[in-house]
Chains A and B, each alone.
Chain A
């Protein structure tokens, strides 16, 4: 397994190079010229030239790309072109709220959906199963924006159960006061698709011969579900979770925007709006890196869930 992990780590290098190349080409092609934002109301040629020199945009494309390579190797992306703040401190300040929000949503949503999926899979074909499927399909057809707008208006404003907006430096205050409503809405948005996906995983597993054999052996239904079916059904669940984990870093744009949560989602949008390439570069590289690491982790976890899996 060690050799497998080392090999995968080495495979990350060309993948990362590809990501860098693609990002660099895309930014230079459609990213916009930041000098026109930084110049404000004064658009003299001299001013624009000065800004481009200071940002290093007057250097050749090759030189600019090599600077990018160095930044990725050192993980030092310099300062934001827009606000002058060090990119590292911007991301450090933003990643906490995002992970708190999206991590909480993911934890609650995954726990609920796995439990509910196994339950409805167990009674598959019943009225309960059909009703849950119907509700999930209906819920998925409604835009996330509708849940957020309606939830904020009714639950926070009309009923006064939650504050309309807010975020604190205290984690405890956030969990008690400011997080419940955005997490609730986030869970409502993600529960239906998760539930349907996990249900299908469980149903597929329950149709296998080994389940019938287990029943024939006289094992209890809870034991069959928890020991045999759950273990096998967890492989696609783990894959789904591992694929989602890197995006915890990026945050939940709509929830952050509507509830004034200072997370990465808003930062990324601001960076794109202002052609703030250092921030865009840093976020993209970190997400790419996290994706590769979590993919590798998922493979390793498969091995622990099901020892029959061979990592080659």
Chain B
């Protein structure tokens, strides 16, 4: 896998990420290869799920699109404008159009501020074209299920984790973003609350015409929310496809191993132990060729010398593997 290539990018996409590379300096002049040439796009109104295990670069990808991490190379285009070229004030302006939801709903809220100020923060910074901002804030809070009057004057510690995540979502929606990036938004929540938030996001997508990048390690959650899914491993794209085909016909060996590892799944797959072995290599010194080859039962000599490129195996289903299923 360890796939590169951008043949799958679409012309009319709202957000286009092309050959994104993010590297961090490490000790002894080494480099952490966190994201190594990742390309994907989002059409308007679409939800892209990004899955992978820890260390695959999914969170770094989200943060780099948001420009919370320094982009080493590659481009991020929103509505055709290249965000990677921006800095300082230009970057600050561009960020208006994108909003992010983080994994820890409680830590994402300033404990000493009231919900009113937290949710209004964006319009306080940027202003709004809406005539009555208070009405707009109330409407958004109502859409996330916090319509109760008393909510505005309370502080984050008075809310449960699920309610805090609703506040985070409201804060982002007040800005009417073009793209919403969600980094593991339900991982810290209990199953019953997780279901509430997933249903909420689905409803908001329709109501506000949201375009979402949904980052998660949970393949069942990603299946539920996504129109398309991208599987990542060690900073590379393995497979990117419409959701149905990925789950019905997983083709990359790593995607298959991930799905086979889900406890209690009923997919027609061999035991996970036969699909993956060993441990994640160090991102300081990733394997040559296909980065998954060190754990792949199908690996051949070719996989060590030549990096596979994303290839369309069926319509809208791209796989970067020399020996796909």
Instruction: Answer yes or no: do A and B interact.
Output: no
